[in-house]
């Protein structure tokens, strides 16, 4: 399930995020990659003072976790702090699958869903598409600043080489309350219909039935 989410950050929030990022430095991105990923990862990651990093994370992730489409589609249980990836001319990230278990010590989590939040305009760079292999072929994603995309972490994906300019994104991972991708997709579609019925026919019998079915399916399929 690949879902694009518009307007996670508004224009002012994007500018604030960029200003905070400008206060930091970028280092070799392979430091956070596993053995396999390090062979194909050619980008940079942000290093920022702790107080400013907390402010940046609160801005970016705080907006994401409040977005209704994200909440419906991801059904998050645990959400990782993001890292900020920077690509300049010649940089790319080859084909890979995200690690299944992430975090450290007692803070381990399973990566069910990957999320990319775009932090600069697609006009700022050529290339740099997020390319995800799906059952319907390769899907290329290059969104407006402030928009996001979520997709299964089990997907084979890559970032195409940047041929001009620079690409800036925030990347995070989610452990969902519903582990299976297909079940999350069904619940998301059902919830869209449920929300429409609750708004348009709140007292109808069909609304009660759909609402009850949705709630009990979440209860049945939840891992908690």
In tens, the pLDDT along 52-75 reads: 999 999 999 999 999 999 999 999
- The pLDDT score that the predictor gives to residue 33 is 65
Measure CA 82 to chain center: 9
- The pLDDT score that the predictor gives to residue 35 is 65
Percent of the chain whose predicted confidence (pLDDT) is above 70: 98
**Averaged pLDDT, 201-212:** 98
Sheet holding 130-134, edge to edge: 41-42, 92-96, 157-159, 130-134, 137-141
**Averaged pLDDT, 116-129:** 98
Mean per-residue pLDDT over the chain, rounded? 95
Backbone angles phi, psi at 149, to 5 degrees: -135, 140
pLDDT bucket at 174, cuts 50 / 70 / 90: very high
pLDDT tops 90 at residue 20: yes
133-139: long-range contacts at Cβ-Cβ below 8 A with a sequence spacing of 24 or more? 133/157, 134/2, 139/2
In tens, the pLDDT along 123-151 reads: 999 999 999 999 889 999 999 999 999 99
pLDDT tops 70 at residue 169: yes
- The pLDDT score that the predictor gives to residue 30 is 81
pLDDT tops 90 at residue 190: yes
């Amino acid at each position: 399930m690949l879902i694009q989410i518009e307007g996670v950050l508004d224009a002012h929030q994007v500018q604030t995020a960029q200003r905070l990022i400008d206060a930091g430095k970028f280092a070799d991105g392979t430091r956070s990659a596993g053995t396999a990923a390090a062979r194909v990862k050619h980008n940079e990651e942000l290093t920022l003072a702790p107080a400013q990093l907390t402010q940046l994370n609160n801005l970016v992730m705080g907006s994401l976790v409040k977005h209704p489409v994200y909440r419906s589609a991801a059904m998050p249980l645990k959400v990782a702090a993001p890292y900020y990836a920077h690509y300049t001319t010649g940089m790319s990230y080859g084909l890979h699958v995200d690690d299944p278990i992430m975090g450290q010590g007692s803070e381990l989590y399973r990566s069910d869903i990957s999320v990319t939040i775009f932090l600069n305009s697609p006009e700022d760079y050529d290339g740099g598409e997020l390319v995800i292999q799906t059952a319907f072929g390769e899907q290329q994603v290059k969104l407006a600043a402030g928009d996001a995309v979520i997709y299964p972490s089990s997907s084979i994906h890559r970032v195409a080489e940047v041929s001009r300019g620079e690409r800036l994104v925030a990347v995070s991972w989610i452990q969902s309350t519903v582990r299976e991708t297909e079940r999350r997709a069904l619940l998301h579609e059902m919830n869209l219909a449920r929300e429409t019925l609750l708004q348009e026919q709140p007292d109808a019998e069909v609304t009660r039935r759909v609402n009850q079915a949705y709630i009990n399916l979440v209860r049945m399929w939840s891992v908690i």
